[in-house]
């Protein structure tokens, strides 16, 4: 029977929520650290509705004999590097037994809308448990850009580590703004260098420094830092209080719950690497998180950031989702044969 592809509408949200709940049940069989609540159709529908409230959203759904087979919902943002379209984890689902070709067709429709609006950076967040979907997107030109990973704090063995000689290891607090802001450049340098080459403007790098500095006096952040000769040489920052589901960042939805701590950023100055600074800062933060009754830690890293992609798996973080990205040649705006 022929498949019908239709623009997504508000009336489709309940049926999309049912599909999403079924997807999440399957995902949790592979990734049990995912929050359980989205197995319920009501919570899954709320997640879809939350996406659909964006003013810049678009989407499509596939039907056979009036029954929804799949849907794909995206929105876009004007980033400093490009107009970028995003499909977040609640933004897709495919019925069991259906071909990934259906999602490929839905992306062709959604992506064409984006291209017509000058959106040439396309980004889809896909559960790491959905291997068929990931492979289906690889075959149409997507590549893996970001990894979101989870760590079970309940079973984690935390080692006893000595502080590096000549350093002070402590929690950051009010008055430490300059210390924290002074190491933000490590992250921006890593992202703008080979083999990622993310373009970051001077204005955006200044914003990074201000954002890192502001965590010193923010109760929602737990920041550990290493000082040597009154200079910050490394920091690891954790988001200590997680927002409610409807207040969550779209990137964290379906990955984090109230018992999830987010490891937000980590940086060590290049000249002091190899002395175990990042290790001790990370372990101190994870130990405190467990004392504060967090069960799971969430972290993400950019795959082409080689230091990060080789470092975090050593702690036992397991991939839970990937951001798959595709860059469209902007010449398509006028070069149509």
**For residue 205, pLDDT beyond 90:** no
Task: Region of 138 please: left (phi>0), alpha (psi -120 to 50) or beta.
Answer: alpha
Does 337 fall in a domain? Answer: no
| % pLDDT > 90, the chain | 86
Instruction: Give 50-77 pLDDT, tens digit per residue.
Output: 999 988 899 999 999 999 999 999 999 9
Domain stops at, among 112, 141, 170: 141
User: Are 214 and 191 found together in one domain?
Assistant: yes
**For residue 135, pLDDT beyond 80:** yes
- CATH number assigned to the domain comprising residue 52: 3.40.630.30
Domain stops at, among 107, 141, 175: 141
Distance of CA 309 to the CA centre of its chain: 14
- Residues 17 and 116 sit within 8 Å (Cβ to Cβ): no
Domain stops at, among 110, 141, 172: 141
Does 165 fall in a domain? Answer: yes
**For residue 246, pLDDT beyond 80:** no
User: Are 87 and 231 found together in one domain?
Assistant: no
Does 146 fall in a domain? Answer: no
User: Are 185 and 82 found together in one domain?
Assistant: no
299 strand-pairing partners: 149, 263
Q: How far apart are CA 182 and CA 192, in angstroms?
A: 17
User: Are 156 and 54 found together in one domain?
Assistant: no
User: Are 85 and 169 found together in one domain?
Assistant: no
Q: How many domains does the chain have?
A: 2
User: Are 28 and 168 found together in one domain?
Assistant: no
How confident is the model over 307-314, as a mean pLDDT?
96
User: Are 170 and 314 found together in one domain?
Assistant: yes
User: Are 137 and 178 found together in one domain?
Assistant: no
pLDDT at 47: 95
User: Are 184 and 238 found together in one domain?
Assistant: yes
pLDDT at 245: 53
pLDDT at 244: 56
- Residues 284 and 172 sit within 8 Å (Cβ to Cβ): no
Does 335 fall in a domain? Answer: no
Q: How far apart are CA 233 and CA 218, in angstroms?
A: 21
Average pLDDT over the chain, rounded to an integer: 94
* Range of the structural domain that residue 48 is part of: 4-141
User: Are 194 and 312 found together in one domain?
Assistant: yes
pLDDT at 109: 98
User: Are 161 and 19 found together in one domain?
Assistant: no
Does 223 fall in a domain? Answer: yes
Q: Taking the model in full, what pTM does it have? A: 0.94
Does 329 fall in a domain? Answer: no
Does 199 fall in a domain? Answer: yes
Going by their DSSP bridges, the two strands 296-302 and 260-268 should be labelled as parallel
Helix (H, G, I), strand (E, B), or coil: what is residue 60?
A: strand
User: Are 254 and 201 found together in one domain?
Assistant: yes
**For residue 165, pLDDT beyond 90:** no
Does 331 fall in a domain? Answer: no
Where residue 253 falls among pLDDT bands split at 50, 70, 90? confident
- Residues 245 and 24 sit within 8 Å (Cβ to Cβ): no
């Amino acid at each position: 029977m022929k498949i019908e592809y239709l623009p997504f509408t508000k009336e489709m949200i309940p049926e999309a929520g049912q599909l999403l709940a079924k997807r999440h049940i399957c995902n949790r069989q592979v990734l049990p650290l995912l929050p359980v609540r989205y197995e319920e159709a009501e919570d899954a529908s709320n997640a879809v509705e939350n996406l659909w409230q964006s003013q810049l959203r678009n989407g499509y759904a596939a039907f056979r004999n009036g029954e929804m087979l799949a849907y794909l919902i995206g929105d876009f943002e004007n980033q400093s590097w490009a107009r970028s379209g995003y499909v977040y984890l609640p933004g897709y689902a495919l019925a069991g037994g259906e071909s990934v070709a259906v999602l490929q067709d839905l992306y062709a429709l959604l992506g064409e809308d984006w291209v017509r609006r000058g959106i040439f950076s396309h980004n889809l967040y896909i559960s790491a448990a959905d291997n068929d979907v990931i492979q289906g997107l690889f075959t149409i030109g997507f590549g893996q850009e970001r990894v979101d990973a989870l760590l079970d704090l309940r079973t984690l063995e935390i080692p006893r580590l000595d502080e590096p000689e000549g350093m002070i290891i402590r929690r950051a607090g009010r008055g430490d703004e300059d210390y924290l802001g002074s190491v933000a450049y490590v992250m921006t340098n890593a992202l703008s260098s080979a083999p990622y080459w993310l373009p970051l403007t001077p204005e955006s790098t200044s914003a990074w420094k201000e954002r890192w500095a502001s965590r010193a006096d923010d109760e929602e952040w737990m920041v550990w830092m290493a000082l040597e000769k009154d200079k910050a040489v490394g920091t690891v920052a954790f988001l200590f209080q997680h927002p409610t589901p409807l207040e969550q960042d779209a990137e964290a939805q379906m990955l984090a719950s109230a018992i999830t701590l987010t490891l937000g950023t980590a940086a060590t100055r290049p000249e002091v690497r190899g002395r175990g600074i990042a290790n001790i800062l990370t372990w101190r933060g994870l130990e405190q998180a467990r004392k504060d009754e967090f069960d799971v830690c969430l972290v993400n890293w950019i795959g082409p950031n080689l230091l990060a992609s080789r470092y975090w798996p050593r702690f036992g973080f397991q991939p839970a989702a990937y951001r798959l990205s595709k860059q469209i040649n902007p010449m398509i705006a006028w070069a149509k044969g």
